Structure formats: C-alpha cells, structure tokens
Amino acid sequence: MELTVELNHPLVRHHLTILRDQSTPPSLFRHQVNRLAWFLASAATADLPVEPRKINTPLVEMMGCQISKRIALVPILRAGLGMVEPLLSLIPEAEVWHLGMYRDEETARPVEYYCKLPTGGGADIGFVLDPMLATGGSVLSAIEILNRWGCPDIRVLSVIASRPGIDRLQAEYPKLRIFVCAIDAELNDRKFIVPGLGDAGDRIFNTLG
C-alpha cells in the first residue's frame, strides 16, 4: 500500500493550474478547491470498510453494502473548511469536527486557538483536511490531538504539499496515509510552498486586503 499518494490525473493537473493562477478570482478559487477535494476524497475513501445490507429494488431483493465505520472530517480552520463539502456530499453520515490553528508569522509554528472534538472517544477514521501542507506543523498538531482523542486511522488530505512537509510527517508517523494533488519541491524563507498558490485561506475567503 502506497502511504503517500500524489494524484496523477489530467483533470487534477488542469484544475490545479487554475487554482495556482494568481488571476483566479476567489469565487472560482473556491470552486477549484471543491473540485480537487472531490478527487482527493475519491482516493482517500477507496478502501473504506463496508458491511452487508439487504435492500429491495423495484424488481428484486438484493444484498448491497454500507459504510461500517464511524468517520470524522476534521478541517483545520480556516482554509480546511473549503474541503468539507465534497467529502460530506460523499459521506453524509460523517461527523464534522473543527480544529482552529493559525501560523505565527515570526516562528512559522502553529498556534491552536480552537478545538471542538466530542468527549467519550474518537471516530474510527479521521480525515484531516488542510489545503496546504507547508511545514507540516499544523497537521502534526492535529494528528496528536486525534491520537489523544482515540482515532486509530488518520488520513491527511491536502491539495498541495511541500516535500519538506511530507518528509517531516513521514518521519514522525511512518504509517500515516497522505493524499495530495501535488508535491512541490520547497519552502521559501517565509515557509510558503513554492511554487504553491499563496495563502489558501485568504484566497478562499477573499481576505487578501
């Protein structure tokens, strides 16, 4: 099983090019994040466990199946909110829990300001949603929180990841499953992904100023 999956699909590359373009307006940028999150969701859910379910079609009785595990979507605020809808449309029964983190611009380290996870134990599978995996700090913090919560299967979905960020996650969690549309080679001196696409949260929510 490939633990880090970089999607190789012409439509992914097409939509990712539009997403990266600095002339793409916020409304289209949001649509592109949504479309690419759908591709990520398709890859990340390909092996979800199912159980039998007997139903009646208009013609006959048949045996189908249904998802058999408790699933949580965990967007990292605020940019991660842009990836929730595609997964929720595919898994309507999923729970949505939120982790709020912002990056300290001086240290480039994540600062947690909000955590809304239920008490009494975690989901069976948790999808961490963050469009940009730069240093990996926010995602690592989210993984630590989900581990304490009691989630045994954690999967990370990011539109663009940096190679240093991927390497850091793999070093800390060798069995972690990561799904990305593209892996960019480097970070600049401000810890932004290069070539990247800038600040995903600002572009999603039109707060570039």
pLDDT at 101 over 70: no
Q: What pTM was computed for the model?
A: 0.90
In the structure, what pLDDT confidence band is assigned to residue 12 with cuts at 50, 70 and 90? very high
pLDDT at 109: 65
pLDDT at 145: 87
179-199 tens-digit pLDDT:
999 999 999 998 999 999 988
145-181 tens-digit pLDDT:
889 888 999 999 999 999 999 999 999 999 999 999 9
Per CATH, is 4-205 categorized as 1.10.3210.10? Answer: no
pLDDT at 105 over 70: no
Strand ranges for 60-124 from DSSP E: 61-67, 71-77, 95-96, 98-103, 110-116
Strand 186-187 to strand 193-194: parallel, antiparallel, or no bridges (unpaired)?
antiparallel
Q: Are 190 and 16 in contact (CB under 8 A)?
A: no
In the structure, what pLDDT confidence band is assigned to residue 108 with cuts at 50, 70 and 90? low
| Cis preceding-peptide flag for 53 (omega within 30 of 0) | no
- Torsions phi, psi of 179, nearest 5? -125, 125
Q: What ranges do the domains of the chain cover?
A: 4-205
115-140 average pLDDT score: 87
CA distance 205 to 79: 8
Per residue in 107-123, is it b (16+ CB within 10 Å) or e — as a string?
eeebeeeeeebeeeebb
In the structure, what pLDDT confidence band is assigned to residue 103 with cuts at 50, 70 and 90? low
Measuring CA to CA, which residue among 87, 62, 92 is closest to residue 75?
Answer: 87
Q: Residues with catalytic annotation?
A: 103, 107, 199, 202
